Amino acid sequence: MTKNFNIAVMLALLVFLPANVARGQFIPNAPFKAVSINAPDFTLKDLQGNVFKLSKQRGKYVAIFFGTTWCPSCRTELPFYKEIYQTYINRGMEAIYVNIMEPREKVAKFTKANALPFKILLDESGEVANSYNVVGVPTLVLIDKEGKIIKVTHATADLPLKKLFPAK
């Protein structure tokens, strides 16, 4: 009886977990929720072929938006991410969008159609997303000036930006 129950649970996970991730949903208790975890360094190219290296951003806050062109929740978050970019870019923060495992041409078309003002980086292999334990999109990661992860969330409203950048 226990063996059949365990098999049923495993089958349910195999069926429902990929479907939820594909719909832009996520596992609520994903790793990296804790404060002060060193952000994995990475080097990716942008749409123009320029190299971006995270460790070169030390001294700035960095907001990373992991997403895809096909994710409805990512599209919903884009206006808010644009607002974050426009509000904080001149206040010591770098904002980047890391597209996960999609062709450059498709991402370029999506970027143009949505008038995305921030750096668009291509994680063609998914290696960077894996190093950040991204289990669903959108995933937003906020990194402090010392290169430590201070927040991981799936909604821009959860980012503590007003605490980090008080109104002048």
Q: What tens digit of pLDDT does each residue of 44-66 get?
A: 999 999 999 999 999 999 999 99
What would the two tokens of residue 91 be?
């206040």
Residues with Cβ within 8 Å of 88's Cβ and at least 6 positions away in sequence, in order, are 61, 63, 95, 161, 165
Mean pLDDT across 141-159? 88
Residue matched to tokens 């994710």: 71
Percent of the chain with pLDDT strictly greater than 70:
76
pLDDT of residue 24: 44
pLDDT digits (tens, 9 = 90+) for 78-114: 999 998 899 889 988 999 999 999 999 999 999 999 9
User: What number does CATH give the domain 2-164?
Assistant: 3.40.30.10
At 29 the pLDDT is 38
* C-alpha to C-alpha distance for 99 and 105, rounded to whole angstroms: 12
CB 54 within 8 A of CB 95: no
Domain limits, the chain: 2-164
What is the C-alpha separation between 35 and 133, in angstroms, rounded? 15
Confidence (pLDDT) at 76: 92
Please list, residue by residue across 26-55, b when 16 or more beta carbons sit within 10 angstroms of its beta carbon and e when fewer do. beeebebeeeeeebbebebebbeeeebebe
- Rounded to an integer, the average pLDDT of 124-145 is 95
Element housing 53 (H / E): strand 51-53
- Does this model's pTM top 0.75? My answer is yes
| 20/16 Cα distance (integer angstroms) | 6
Residue 70 has pLDDT above 80, yes or no: yes
CA torsion 67-72-76-79 (nearest 10°) is: 50
